[in-house]
Each structure stands twice: as structure tokens, then as C-alpha cells.
Amino acid sequence: MQADLQESEKESDKDMIDLFEREDRLMDVGNIQMEPCILVGVEDLSYHRLSGEEKFSLDLENQFSLDESLSEMRELTTTAGLKIIEEVTQRLNEPNPRTYIGTGKTKEIAAVCERTGVCTVVFDAELSPRQLKHLENVFGETKGFRYADSESAIKVIDRTALILDIFAQHAKTKEGQLQVELALHTYRAPRLTKLWSHLERQSGAGGVGLRGPGERQLEIDKRLLRDKINGLKKQINEVQKQRDLHRRGRDNLGLPVVALVGYTNAGKSTMLNHLTKAGVMAEDILFATLDPTTRRVKLPGLKTHPEVLLTDTVGFIQKLPTQLVAAFRATLEEVKSADILVHVMDASNPIWRKQEAAVMEVLSDIGCGDKPILKVFNKIDLVEDGTKVVRDGAALMGGNVVAVSSKTGEGMTDFVASMERTMEGLLVPIEVVIPYSRGEEINLIHEVGAVDFVDYIEEGTMIYGKVPLALANRLKEFEVGGAGVEEVEEEKGGETEEEYWKRVAKKR
Ligand SMILES: Nc1nc2c(ncn2[C@@H]2O[C@H](COP(=O)(O)OP(=O)(O)OP(=O)(O)O)[C@@H](O)[C@H]2O)c(=O)[nH]1
Ligand SMILES: [Mg+2]
């Protein structure tokens, strides 16, 4: 008995060291070339029973249909390195709290696993830790894997795990990697029981040895994971401080910040490339860009703001996983701090309208719904009747809509003209007297603002005109008269940063 205990403690030490390696293997489909999988598409019809008001807030018109969502999932699975062998679908009146899908469907999938020998099942849904565990157990049982090591059993990947995996494969910078790692650990923490359930069974869970080695191991693992999560948060905070410093330096330039936002694969990076020849990776895969790249760009044709800072951002997707919204807050901060958003849409995608709605929902969730937005239809070279697309778009969304091709350059002049119009709203009036020793500020005003009146008086150069807000803030000390600009503080409604992001993540 004593020897048994020592033996299991040794075992448990070894397991502890292996923890992060093991869970990495569990998730890291990137290491396996085109791992075969079964794709399960589910349409949740439970909204039919919602009240009229609740239904209205769901924006039913823009919900992705089963087929539309499945076709997006096919791209996501391929991007993650999976090969779909078979697809199974179900329309659900009410998700089953234990297995999400119905019992009959669960059996059907288990049979497909058995017939095809495929051990990976991908769900187009966000599964609770409990559902994930139940599904793995049920599938594993049918395959006769019940007592086998968890690695050889059937693996269930939900939508969140799949997107996280793609993010893990694409994160390039230190900050991106830290953010993905944090999101991964936060996702895994409540699912940790699954990893060690074989140990619990060895200890005779539920019987006399209830607090046997399996249970203890689990506690150690949970603590390790908690420490790891806290460590990551600290590191991210450090990197974020650096980013804040950069941003402050950038604000001093007084240049408008324009963020390219949009659905994944809409062509944001290609557009940035075209406008700057910056060489940012643009690939026909989902979530090619995770790290925000900012470039100082001179846009030919822009007069009041000849130079802007263009920021490429991570793509959005419908049902964006909670962990990602919370973990990618640094990236989303870039969107929050932009003066103008350029919403890039893929005009060649038949469901651009639903993608547009999904993007607008995320933007409003992160508090950017009121920013000036320029809507751009991209990939117009792939569309037969470009003018019709713009007409339909303008009718649906109202206001400023342009069509471009980031591949051929078509429409870019229109785009720049629309930018100019959108940016006019960014200028604020100033009345300043700038000492002669501060030539730099005067140059800046001429460069980025619109000057109405100049006079040379004893104290310095008197200028009336309009400049971007960031520059107006910088010129505050030189203000005379009544046109002074109030320093604009970010509205947080009495919330701390932490509270704000928690609320946003919770809402999703
Ligand atoms: N034909 C055509 N293809 C385009 C155009 N713009 C982008 N693409 C292609 O669309 C694919 C996606 O482009 P990206 O620039 O990577 O898209 P993105 O919006 O940055 O995507 P994420 O970073 O994943 O969010 C690439 O294969 C591009 O070559 C365009 O105007 N015309
Ligand atoms: Mg990109």
C-alpha cells in the first residue's frame, strides 16, 4: 500500500512536469499535417421561443444560416491544418445541456468515428466544459477508448478552440504570443479535469480513495495554471505600458490615426500593402494578421491631412470567442484609439452584409460604434457589377461608401477623396500665438491643419485655423481667445479599464 502510494507520487511528479507539454499536444493541431476530422454543423433554433423584444435584439436577419456558418467553418478547419472527412449537421430546437446535440446525433457521430477511424470531431459551436467532456466520453466509449490514455481517445474541438489554435499558429510578435497564450490557458483552465480524468479513475474516484493521487494532481495542475495565467497577465501589462508610451509619442505627431477594420480575409492587409507597400503579410487564410501594424503613410491627394497613421488590425468573425475579446484587448485598444475607422468589406463574398453586421456588433461592444467610419467595398475586381454593389451598399448602410480593388488599385482615388471628407470632421478650431522659438509647431499646423489667418505679432506667430484634435491638445498652452479646446478625456463612464474589458468580454 505504502509502496503503491510512493509509486503514484513519483508518477504524479512526472505528470506535473509534463503538464504543459501534454496540454500543448492536446491542442496543437498545427504540428500534425492535415489531421483528418469530422465537422459537426449545428443550428440552434431556440431563439424561436424568445419574446419579441429579445428576438429583435438578436438581429435575426443577420444571423448566419447553417450553410453559411458551415462554409466559414470549412475555411477555419483548413486554415488550422485539418482535413474534413465527413460532415454531420443538426438543427436543434434546444441544445442538450449535457451533449449540446441530441442523443441520436451523438450516436450517429460516434458511428462515423468508428467507421472512418477519425478521432477528431470539430463542432461549429461554443461548448461548455461539461458538454465537451461528455461528448468525448460518449464518443470514446463507443470506440472502446474508455480506459485508454486521453491522447488516444477522441478529441472534440469547439469553435473557440479552433480559432484559438489558428491564433496560436499565427501570432508573430511577443505581445501577440502572450495574448494568445493567455487566451489558451483561460480556455483550458475549466476543462482541465478532462486531461487527468484517467488518473482519477485509477484512484477509484467516487469510492474510498476519493482524494487520491488523481484529485491531488488536479489541484496542483489548477494552481500551476492559475500562476501561469497571473504571470502572463503581468507580462502583458508590461508590454502594454510600452505600447501606451508608443501611442503617446505617436499622438505628439498630431497625425490622424486611421484603423483598417473588418471581417477576417476582407483584404485589410492587402489594402495597407497597396497604400504603403509595407509588406505586411496578406494571405488567403483566416486570421493572417494578429498583430497591429502601424505605418506612417503619405496618401497622394490628401490635402488637410497629407500624412496619416494607418493601422492594420486583427480580423473579426461572427461569434468571436469570449477569451479572445478579453485577451486581445491591446489590439482592440488600437481600434479604440483611432480617429477614423476604415471598414473593409469583401464585396465578392455573397454574405458581406452579414459579415458587416458582425463587425459592427463587435465595434459597438468595444465602444467604437460612434467613431467616424468609412465603408470600403474591397475586391471589386471580382464583382461583375461594381456600381450596383456600391448602390446597394449605400442604400443599406447610408452615407459614405466606396469600392476599390487592393489588387488592381482601381477606386483608390475615390477612396482617398472619401477619406478627405471623413477626416474633415476631425479638425477642431484653434486660435494660438506660438513663440518664434517654436518653429516646429508652426510647421506642423501648416502640414496637418487648415490655416485661415496668420499674423506676426510681438509674442510670436498668431494663427487661426483648424487642426486635428491631437495637435490641438498639444497646442493648448499657446491658446488665446475663446476657441480653446478642452482636453478630451476618454469616456469610461466611471469604470476602471479592467472593469470595462470584463464587461465587454462578459457581454459576448
Ligand atoms: N481579387 C482580389 N483579391 C484580394 C483583394 N484584396 C485582398 N485580396 C486577397 O484576399 C485574401 C485576404 O487578404 P488579406 O489582406 O490577408 O485579408 P485581411 O483582411 O488582412 O485578413 P485577416 O488578416 O485574416 O483578417 C488574400 O488572398 C488577398 O490576396 C482584391 O482587391 N482583389
Ligand atoms: Mg490581415
The CB of 264 under 6 Å from ligand 1? The reply is: yes
Q: pTM for the complete prediction? A: 0.76
Would you say the CB of residue 59 lies under 6 angstroms from ligand 1? no
Residue nearest to atom 13 of ligand 1 (CA): 267
- Cβ contact 277:306 at 8 Å: no
The pLDDT value given to residue 497? 58
Q: Count how many Cα atoms sit within 13 Å of the Cα of residue 269 in the half-sphere of its side chain.
A: 20
74 within some domain = yes
CATH of the domain at 445: 3.30.70
Give the pLDDT score at 26: 38
C-alpha cell at 391: 448602390
d(CA 259, CA 406): 16
Both 198 and 267 in one domain: the answer is no
In sign, the C-alpha dihedral spanning 261, 267, 273, 274 is negative
> Of the spans 49-53, 101-105, 467-471, 482-486, which averages the highest pLDDT?
101-105
Chosen domain end from 376, 395, 424: 424
Of the residues 76, 265, 380, which should be mutated to test ligand 1's pocket, given the most ligand atoms within 8 Å of the CB? 265
pLDDT at 491 over 60: no
Is 496 part of a structural domain of the chain? Answer: yes
The answer to which of 49-58, 70-79, 109-118, 253-262 has the lowest mean pLDDT is 49-58
- Residue 446: per-residue pLDDT: 87
Q: Do 185 and 132 fall within a single domain? A: no
Is the distance from the beta carbon of residue 382 to the nearest atom of ligand 1 less than 6 Å?
yes
Q: Are residues 267 and 394 in the same domain?
A: yes
Q: What are phi and psi of 153, to 5 degrees?
A: -80, 180
DSSP state of 464: E
Q: Which ligand is nearest to the CA of 293?
A: 2
User: How far is residue 445's CA from residue 451's CA, in Å, rounded to a whole number?
Assistant: 7
More confident residue, 174 or 55: 174
Protein residue with least CA distance to atom 21, ligand 1: 265
Report yes or no on 198 lying in a domain: yes
Residue 15 resides in a domain = yes
C-alpha cell at 336: 479604440
pLDDT at 484: 43
Alpha helices in 383-475 (DSSP H): 386-397, 412-424, 439-448, 469-474
Q: Is residue 162 in some structural domain?
A: no
Ligand 1 binding pocket includes 260 (Cβ within 6 Å): no
Q: How far is the CA of 247 from the centre of ligand 1 (A)?
A: 27
DSSP 26-71: HH-GGGSTTEEEEEEEEEE-GGGGS-HHHHHHTTGGGSPPHHHHHH
Q: Is 355 in the pocket of ligand 1 (CB under 6 A)?
A: no
Quick one: 15 and 69 in the same domain?
no
d(CA 328, CA 161): 15
210 lines ligand 1 (CB under 6 A): no
First-to-last alpha carbon distance for the chain, in angstroms, is: 50
Ligand nearest to the CA of 285: 1
Same domain, 309 and 366: yes
Q: Give the sheet arrangement for strand 120-123, strand by strand.
A: 82-92, 35-44, 120-123, 155-157
* Model confidence pLDDT, tens digit, residues 22-48: 344 334 444 446 789 999 999 888 776
77: confidence class by pLDDT, cuts 50, 70, 90 = very high
Q: How confident is the model at residue 282 (pLDDT cuts 50, 70, 90)?
A: low
Range of the domain at 214: 1-23+167-251
Confidence label for 349 from pLDDT (cuts 50, 70 and 90): very high
**Which pLDDT belongs to residue 392?**
83
Q: Is the pLDDT of residue 9 over 60?
A: no
405 lines ligand 1 (CB under 6 A): yes
pLDDT of residue 71: 93
Whether residues 420 and 284 share a domain: the answer is yes
> 53-62, 293-302, 464-473: lowest mean pLDDT where?
53-62
446-459 mean pLDDT: 88
Q: How far is the CA of 250 from the centre of ligand 2 (A)?
A: 22
Q: Are residues 269 and 381 in the same domain?
A: yes
pLDDT digits (tens, 9 = 90+) for 216-259: 666 777 788 888 889 999 998 888 888 778 777 777 676 788 99
For the record, the C-alpha cell of 303 comes out as 490635402
CA distance 15 to 66: 41
What cell numbers appear for 9 in the block?
507520487
For residue 310, is it within any domain?
yes
Distance of CA 409 to the CA centre of its chain: 27
Beta carbons of 129 and 190 less than 8 angstroms apart: yes
How many Å lie between the centroid of ligand 1 and the Cα of residue 179? 24
Residue 453 lies in a domain: yes
pLDDT at residue 54 in the model: 66
Of 243 and 485, the one with more pLDDT = 243
CA atoms of 175 and 173, how far apart (whole Å): 5
Mean pLDDT across the chain, nearest whole number? 78
pLDDT > 70: what percent of the chain?
72
pLDDT in tens, 83-112: 999 999 999 888 999 999 999 999 999 999
Does the residue 300 lie in any domain? yes
Q: Is 417 in the pocket of ligand 1 (CB under 6 A)?
A: no
**What confidence score (pLDDT) does residue 194 get?**
45
CA of 275 to the centre of ligand 2 (A): 14
Expressed in angstroms and rounded, the spacing between residue 316 Cα and the centre of ligand 1 is 14
Tell me which residue of 127, 243, 126 sits closest to 178, measured CA to CA.
243
Question: pLDDT for 141-157, tens place per residue?
Answer: 765 554 445 455 788 99
Same domain, 433 and 389: no
Q: Cell 460604434 maps to which residue?
A: 369
- The grid coordinates of residue 14 equal 512526472
Gap between the Cα atoms of 109 and 5, Å rounded: 40
Q: Domain end: 157, 187, 210, which one? A: 157
User: Using DSSP, how many helices (H) and how many strands (E) does the chain show?
Assistant: 18, 13
Q: What is the pLDDT of residues 372-394, one digit of tens each?
A: 999 999 999 999 887 888 888 88
- For the Cβ of 22 lying below 6 angstroms from any atom of ligand 1, the answer is no
Atom 5, ligand 1: residue with shortest CA distance: 379
Same domain, 299 and 152: no
> Among 251, 270, 303, which residue terminates a domain?
251
Identify whether residues 271 and 381 lie together within a single domain: yes
Which residue from 172, 270, 293 has its CB within 8 A of the most atoms of ligand 1, so it is best to mutate? 270
Helices 329-336, 174-188: inter-axial angle, 10-degree rounding = 120
User: What separation in angstroms does the CA of 380 have from each of 270, 376, 385?
Assistant: 13, 10, 9
Residue 370 shares a structural domain with residue 403: yes
Rounded Cα distance, 310 and 255, in Å: 10
Going by the DSSP 8-state scheme, the letter that residue 100 receives in this structure is B
In sequence order, the β-bridge partners of residue 467 are: 428
Does one domain contain both 76 and 129? yes
Percentage of residues in the chain with pLDDT exceeding 90?
A: 31
368: CATH: 3.40.50.300
Name the amino acid, one letter, at 239.
V
Q: How confident is the model at residue 21 (pLDDT cuts 50, 70, 90)?
A: very low
Residues 309, 332: Cα–Cα separation, whole Å = 16
Q: What angle do CA 257, 261, 267 make, to 5 degrees?
A: 115
CA distance 89 to 78: 18
The rounded Å distance from CA 119 to ligand 1 centre is 33
Residue 98's domain is classified under what CATH number?
Answer: 3.40.50.11060
Asked if ipTM goes beyond 0.90, one says: yes
Q: Look at 411-420, 458-467, 477-486 and tell me which has the smallest mean pLDDT.
A: 477-486
The number of distinct structural domains making up the chain is: 4
The DSSP H or E segment spanning 307 is strand 307-312
Structure-block grid coordinates of residue 92? 436543434
Instruction: Decide the pairing of beta strands 340-346 and 373-378.
Output: parallel
The finding on whether 106 has its CB within 6 A of some atom of ligand 1 is no
Structure confidence at residue 215 (pLDDT)? 55
